[in-house]
């Protein structure tokens, strides 16, 4: 069954495949899998890489016909990805555990400093309790456990007001008290 | 004081609903311990040695009488009849039941209170000078700025999962009564080169196992940029602060490892790129906030000497437990929560309710919490202090010891806290018993003693003139003593005098330190100044010269 996720407030089937998933499904061998994927034989034709995978083989990925997404790990620097953003159709941040918080800043930087307008995905430890804050940092796509999907879809209104301006609401940039 | 509007009320009510649901999911088994821990911590709820501990925010230490009455009622109905006021101007309940915590939060919300961000790795309750707005030489009342920071930091989406906790203190007077130099960020209201008021920003101060005095990041920040600058500091910290080691995760470690110069460069670079778009505090907003802190309707009075001709006990209390007020005829009055046999900072339900009533009668219905764990009536007519003293004395909260040795700061220690190595409350009791002669205490003069039950330093022992740290030695409770620490504008970290001492020897050790001071002090020289002049050596020699007699 394809992965379900929450995108723009709706539960949808994921139309993206991680490179590790694609490679594993094709050959059980990352190198062979990657060659196949690069030859655009893979049906998904929409692949998510880690930033490391992108950087380690950048010229080949750049030339590949597939649509590409990239996920930043918490330690990756947004400014290093910034020059290449136009090659991607999806950018994401990984949250390895419930205490990780760097992705919130990565999200804001992508949206506000580097003008990223495409899908911004949160992956890893993402639950209904975080989506409100993630959305306010610019994320619009959330990989959640199936058991949390429906509740998370309602979590954008956990709080119906905010003190801080945020680009998700397009509000004037001053302290949000009326 | 600040009053909630519809938006503030909505937010705290929605937080209660959210936390009620999170608690339900945990009790149902939908959330495991670790998952719930990250959620409850952002709502002030610790699981402690005996029971959960709930920490309730008292923003910059300011309470209305109605709020204090509610805190007393909660202590009676949900706890064991008391609460503990902390060094960060909050209150803690040590015995609530987990399942009832959402009900406590709902009750707090009715009086515009909450437990949001009182624990966990997020921006904590902002603290300030307990004499804000009434102290004579203040540049500006810091509380409107505290409230602006409170709102900005509440549910700030980017900074909800920081590497570690983050504490901000704001002061507006030359004397630092908020320990701002040992906060993650200190904000000082200062006058700029052109004579306008703005802020000096410090970062990297902190206590814990690596005590460090904060350093200046920016000497003068124009006021409208306060939030964008804080945002830049927090962003650099969120991205660069260490997350691999809980003991190295505070901003002080980042500042120390980068050096203040490089840290400043990064913050300034970040600020340059966001200052155009980040929230700007416009003058209308400042004016709106200021309007909440307008002075109360003072009467037109002149200064008097209400202690003249009165009994000795009142004169002592007046001298030690009241403070100068900028308005003629008024005085600030401390309610001492330091008394033999009572844990420092504890108040019973009945005391809280009585103090609330007294504040209605004598101090415009407001009460403040000090970072030294006492309460304060800010605006008492001098002519009413005698009456007020009698009422406080009957309630057991008029111990005339403010600023003296027995006005100790003390964490809950091993008795309540799962982190502590050693008891602190029972040591406080031993010290109280040993030093029960007020003539001696008064002769010693200004002297602060701060005690923590472990390295986390909740009792601020590093910045006590005398500091006591509980350590575990082979399963026994021992105590390391430091001298020469200070928390004010001339903040310094204390020096360890030597090997730690057994619990039974703590009071005698302090007595020996004080003997050296009394023998060698110059006229009007404070203990702190004597230690700074003499160094640790003479104190150390006396303490360890002979074993403590059994």
Nearest to B128 by CA among B60, B185, B189, B188: B60
Asked whether residue B223 is domain-assigned, the answer is: yes
* Tokens at B501, concatenated: 């001492």
Write the CATH number for B356. Answer: 3.30.70.3340
| Residues of chain A contacting residue B227, judged by C-beta atoms under 8 Å apart | 175
Torsion of Cα atoms, B384 then B390 then B394 then B395, to 10°: 30
Q: How far apart are CA B469 and CA B462, in angstroms?
A: 9
Whether residue B331 sits in one domain with residue B269 = no
Going by the DSSP 8-state scheme, the letter that residue A29 receives in this structure is -
A164 to chain B: nearest residue by CA?
A: B152
First to last CA, chain A: 46
Strand order in the sheet with B45-47: B45-47, B52-56, B91-93, B82-85, B346-348
The runs of H, that is alpha helices, within A18-170 are: 19-27, 30-38, 51-56, 58-63, 78-81, 102-108, 128-136, 146-153
pLDDT average, residue stretch B26-45:
93
**CB-based contact (8 Å) between B163 and chain A?**
yes
Asked whether residue B255 is domain-assigned, the answer is: yes
Whether residue B356 sits in one domain with residue B260 = no
Nearest to B448 by CA among B369, B370, B528: B528
What confidence score (pLDDT) does residue B104 get? 97
**CB-based contact (8 Å) between B272 and chain A?**
no
Question: Is residue A26 predicted with pLDDT exceeding 80?
Answer: no
What confidence score (pLDDT) does residue B458 get? 86
Contact A99 B14 (CB under 8 A): no
Q: How far apart are CA B527 and CA B533, in angstroms?
A: 10
CA dihedral sign, ordered B157, B163, B165, B171: negative
* Tokens at A146, concatenated: 């199936």
pLDDT average, residue stretch B453-468:
92
Nearest to A104 by CA among B149, B272, B122, B227: B122
What confidence score (pLDDT) does residue A169 get? 40
Going by the DSSP 8-state scheme, the letter that residue B333 receives in this structure is E
Contact B155 A166 (CB under 8 A): no
Asked whether residue B282 is domain-assigned, the answer is: yes
What is the band of A170 on the pLDDT scale with cuts at 50, 70, 90? very low
Give this complex's ipTM. Answer: 0.92
What confidence score (pLDDT) does residue A45 get? 85
Q: Which of A152, A166, A177 has the most B C-beta neighbours within 10 Å, making it the best mutation to test the interface with B?
A: A177
Write the CATH number for B467. Answer: 3.30.413.10
Check: CB of residue B115 under 8 Å from CB of residue B55. Answer: yes
Whether residue B415 sits in one domain with residue B390 = no
Q: How far apart are CA B101 and CA B78, in angstroms?
A: 9
Task: Render pLDDT for B311-360 as a digit per residue (tens, 0 to 9).
Answer: 999 999 999 999 999 999 999 999 999 987 788 899 999 999 999 999 99
pLDDT average, residue stretch B283-299:
95
Q: How far apart are CA B74 and CA B353, in angstroms?
A: 11
For the packed helices B527-534 and B537-545, what is the interaxial angle rounded to 10 degrees?
A: 100
Range of the domain at B285: 134-291
* Tokens at B446, concatenated: 């200004």
> Angle at CA B534, nearest 5°, toward B530 and B540?
105
Whether residue B165 sits in one domain with residue B82 = no
Asked whether residue B119 is domain-assigned, the answer is: no
| Residues of chain A contacting residue B282, judged by C-beta atoms under 8 Å apart | 174
Check: CB of residue B124 under 8 Å from CB of residue B165. Answer: yes
pLDDT average, residue stretch A121-141:
96
Check: CB of residue B310 under 8 Å from CB of residue B371. Answer: no
Q: Which of B9, B157, B272 has the most A C-beta neighbours within 10 Å, making it the best mutation to test the interface with A?
A: B157
Q: Reduced to 3 states, what is the DSSP secondary structure of residue B175?
A: coil
Whether residue B376 sits in one domain with residue B273 = no
> Angle at CA B164, nearest 5°, toward B163 and B169?
125
Going by the DSSP 8-state scheme, the letter that residue B190 receives in this structure is E
Task: Render pLDDT for A50-108 as a digit per residue (tens, 0 to 9).
Answer: 999 999 999 999 999 999 999 999 999 999 999 999 999 999 999 999 999 999 999 99
Whether residue B497 sits in one domain with residue B414 = yes
Q: Reduced to 3 states, what is the DSSP secondary structure of residue B170?
A: strand
Q: Reduced to 3 states, what is the DSSP secondary structure of residue A139?
A: coil
Nearest to B123 by CA among B152, B98, B153, B149: B153
Give the 3-state DSSP-derived string for A30-55, with helices as H, strands as E and coil as C. Answer: HHHHHHHHHCCCCCCCEEEEEHHHHH
pLDDT average, residue stretch A6-23:
93
Whether residue B282 sits in one domain with residue B155 = yes
Whether residue B260 sits in one domain with residue B355 = no
Q: How far apart are CA B182 and CA B203, in angstroms?
A: 9
Q: How far apart are CA B243 and CA B369, in angstroms?
A: 33
Q: How far apart are CA B90 and CA B170, in angstroms?
A: 16
What confidence score (pLDDT) does residue A166 get? 57
All domains of chain A in start order, with CATH: 4-157 (3.20.20.70)
Token pair 């998952």 is found at B35
Contact A164 B235 (CB under 8 A): no
Question: Is residue B507 predicted with pLDDT exceeding 60?
Answer: yes
Whether residue B428 sits in one domain with residue B354 = no
Q: Tell me which of B348, B364, B394 is where a domain ends.
A: B394
Whether residue B274 sits in one domain with residue B140 = yes
Q: Phi then psi for A130, rounded to 5 degrees?
A: -105, -20
Q: Reduced to 3 states, what is the DSSP secondary structure of residue B372?
A: coil
Asked whether residue B129 is domain-assigned, the answer is: no
Q: How far apart are CA B405 and CA B434, in angstroms?
A: 11
Whether residue B345 sits in one domain with residue B270 = no
Asked whether residue B92 is domain-assigned, the answer is: yes
**CB-based contact (8 Å) between B11 and chain A?**
yes
Task: Render pLDDT for B363-388 as a digit per residue (tens, 0 to 9).
Answer: 999 999 999 999 999 999 999 999 99
Q: How many domains does chain B have?
A: 4
CA distances from B265 to B204, B218, B259, B268, B408 (A): 15, 10, 10, 5, 40
Tell how strand B52-56 and strand B466-473 pair up: unpaired
| Residues of chain B contacting residue A132, judged by C-beta atoms under 8 Å apart | 157
Q: How far apart are CA B278 and CA B282, in angstroms?
A: 12
Question: Is residue A176 predicted with pLDDT exceeding 60?
Answer: no
What pTM does this model have? 0.93
What confidence score (pLDDT) does residue B51 get? 73
Smallest Cα distance from A157 to chain B, Å: 9
Q: Which of A72, A93, A105 has the most B C-beta neighbours within 10 Å, making it the best mutation to test the interface with B?
A: A105
What does chain B come to in residues?
550
Whether residue B152 sits in one domain with residue B254 = yes
Smallest Cα distance from B279 to chain A, Å: 4
* Tokens at B459, concatenated: 């009792």
What does chain A come to in residues?
178
Q: How far apart are CA B145 and CA B290, in angstroms?
A: 9
Asked whether residue B402 is domain-assigned, the answer is: no
Give Cβ neighbours of residue B519 (< 8 Å, ≥ 6 apart): none
Q: How far apart are CA A99 and CA A11, in angstroms?
A: 25
Q: How far apart are CA B442 and CA B444, in angstroms?
A: 5
Asked whether residue B123 is domain-assigned, the answer is: no
Beta bridge partners of B255: none
């Amino acid at each position: 069954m394809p992965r379900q996720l929450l995108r723009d407030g709706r539960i949808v089937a994921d139309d993206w495949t991680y490179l590790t998933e694609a490679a594993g499904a094709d050959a059980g061998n990352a190198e062979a899998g990657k060659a196949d994927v690069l030859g655009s034989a893979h049906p998904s034709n929409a692949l998510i890489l880690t930033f490391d995978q992108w950087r380690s083989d950048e010229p080949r990925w750049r030339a590949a016909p597939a649509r590409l997404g990239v996920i930043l790990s918490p330690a990756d620097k947004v400014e290093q990805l910034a020059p290449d953003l136009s090659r991607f159709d999806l950018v994401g941040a990984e949250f390895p555990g419930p205490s990780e918080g760097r992705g919130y800043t990565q999200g804001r930087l992508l949206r506000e400093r580097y003008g990223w307008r495409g899908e911004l995905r949160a992956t890893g430890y993402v639950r209904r309790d975080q989506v409100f804050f993630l959305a306010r940092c610019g994320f619009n796509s959330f990989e959640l456990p199936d058991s949390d999907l429906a509740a998370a879809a309602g979590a954008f209104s956990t709080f119906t007001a905010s003190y801080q301006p945020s680009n998700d609401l397009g509000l004037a940039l001053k302290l949000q008290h009326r | 004081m600040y009053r909630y509007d519809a938006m503030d009320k909505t937010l705290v009510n929605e937080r209660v609903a959210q936390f009620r649901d999170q608690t339900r999911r945990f009790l149902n088994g939908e959330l495991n311990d670790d998952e719930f821990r990250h959620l409850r911590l952002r709502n002030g709820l610790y699981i402690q040695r005996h029971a959960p501990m709930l920490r309730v925010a008292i923003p910059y230490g300011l309470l209305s009488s109605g709020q204090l009455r509610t805190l007393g009622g909660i202590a009676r109905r949900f706890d064991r009849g008391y609460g503990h006021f902390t060094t960060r101007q909050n209150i803690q309940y040590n015995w609530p039941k987990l399942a009832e915590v959402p009900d406590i939060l709902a009750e707090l919300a009715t009086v515009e209170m909450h437990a949001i961000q009182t624990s966990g790795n997020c921006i904590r309750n902002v603290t300030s000078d307990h004499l804000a707005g009434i102290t004579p030489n203040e540049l500006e009342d810091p509380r409107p700025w505290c409230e602006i920071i409170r709102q900005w930091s509440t549910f700030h989406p980017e900074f909800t999962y920081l590497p570690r906790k983050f504490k901000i203190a704001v002061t507006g007077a030359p004397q630092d009564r908020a320990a701002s130099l040992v906060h993650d960020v200190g904000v000082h209201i200062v006058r700029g080169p052109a004579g306008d008021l703005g802020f000096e920003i410090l970062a990297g101060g902190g206590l814990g196992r690596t005590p460090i005095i904060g350093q200046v990041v920016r000497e003068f920040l124009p006021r409208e940029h306060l939030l964008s600058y804080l945002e830049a500091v927090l962003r650099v910290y969120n991205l660069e602060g260490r997350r691999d080691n809980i003991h190295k995760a505070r901003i002080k470690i980042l500042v120390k490892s980068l050096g203040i110069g490089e840290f400043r460069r990064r913050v300034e670079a970040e600020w340059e790129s966001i200052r155009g778009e980040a929230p700007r505090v416009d003058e209308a907003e400042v004016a709106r906030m200021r309007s909440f802190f307008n002075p109360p309707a003072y009467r037109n009075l002149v200064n008097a000497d209400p202690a003249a001709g009165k009994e000795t006990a009142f004169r002592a209390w007046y001298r030690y437990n009241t403070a100068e007020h900028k308005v003629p005829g008024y005085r600030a009055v401390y309610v001492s929560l330091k008394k033999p046999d009572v844990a420092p900072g504890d108040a019973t339900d009945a005391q809280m309710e009585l103090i609330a009533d007294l504040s209605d009668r004598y101090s415009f219905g407001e009460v403040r919490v000090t970072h030294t764990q006492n309460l304060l009536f800010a605006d008492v007519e001098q002519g009413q202090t005698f009456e007020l003293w009698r009422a406080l004395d009957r309630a057991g909260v008029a111990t005339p010891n403010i600023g003296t040795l027995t006005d100790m700061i003390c964490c809950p220690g091993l008795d309540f806290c799962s982190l502590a190595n050693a008891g602190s409350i029972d040591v406080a009791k031993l010290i109280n018993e040993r030093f029960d002669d007020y003539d001696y205490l008064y002769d010693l003069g200004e002297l602060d003693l701060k005690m923590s039950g472990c390295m986390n330093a909740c009792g601020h022992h590093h910045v006590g003139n005398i500091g006591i740290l509980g350590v575990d030695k082979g399963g026994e409770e021992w105590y390391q003593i430091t001298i020469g620490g200070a928390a004010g504008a001339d903040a310094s970290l204390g020096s360890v005098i030597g090997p730690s001492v057994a619990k039974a020897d703590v009071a005698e050790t302090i007595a020996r330190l004080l003997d050296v001071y009394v023998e060698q002090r110059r006229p009007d020289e404070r203990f702190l100044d004597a230690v700074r002049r003499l160094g640790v050596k003479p104190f150390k020699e006396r303490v360890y010269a002979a074993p403590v007699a059994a």
